[in-house]
Homo-oligomer: A and B are copies of this chain.
Amino acid sequence: MAGPKGSKYYNIFLKFKVWLENTDQESILGNGKFELLDFIDQFGSLKAAADKMEISYRKAWGMLKDAEEKLGFPLVEKQRGGQHGGNSVLTDDGKILIEAYKELLVEFDEAIYQITKKFFNRVNKK
């Protein structure tokens, strides 16, 4: 969402972010990790998800490990071995989380729309 045409805020956008945090103010799950979970769900493996996101497997694995450690419960059931090397499937907790997050984003988008409009109205009023 940008400021109105012609105003000095025309090329400026109001952005927002939502994430889960623990009591130590550490980020547990944000947009990137939710996206990763979503791709794991869609493609059935951490590797495939990493490829889709164009990040290294090493990085994706680290993201997932970090989130699970901080949450204290697993988000993904990992299987290794087999001719295809293995696979990853979201746990019920993982599924519920990404569903809730998706709906949260929709609601947030709706809420921010009005707020943003008001913001740019205000700063351009003068």
Contacts and interface: CB of A to CB of B under 8 A. Distances in A.
Contact of A92 (B17, B72, B111, B126): B126
A124 to B, nearest CB: 9
Contacts of A112: 108, 111
Contacts of A126: 92, 96
Contacts of A100: 119, 122-123
Contact of A104 (B21, B23, B115): B115
Interface of A: 8, 11-23, 28, 71-73, 92, 96-97, 99-101, 103-104, 107-108, 111-112, 115, 118-119, 122-123, 125-126
Given A92-B126, A104-B115, A107-B118, 19 more contacts: A8-B71, A8-B72, A8-B73, A12-B28, A13-B22, A14-B19, A14-B104, A15-B19, A15-B21, A16-B19, A16-B108, A17-B17, A96-B126, A100-B123, A101-B119, A103-B122, A108-B112, A111-B111, A111-B112
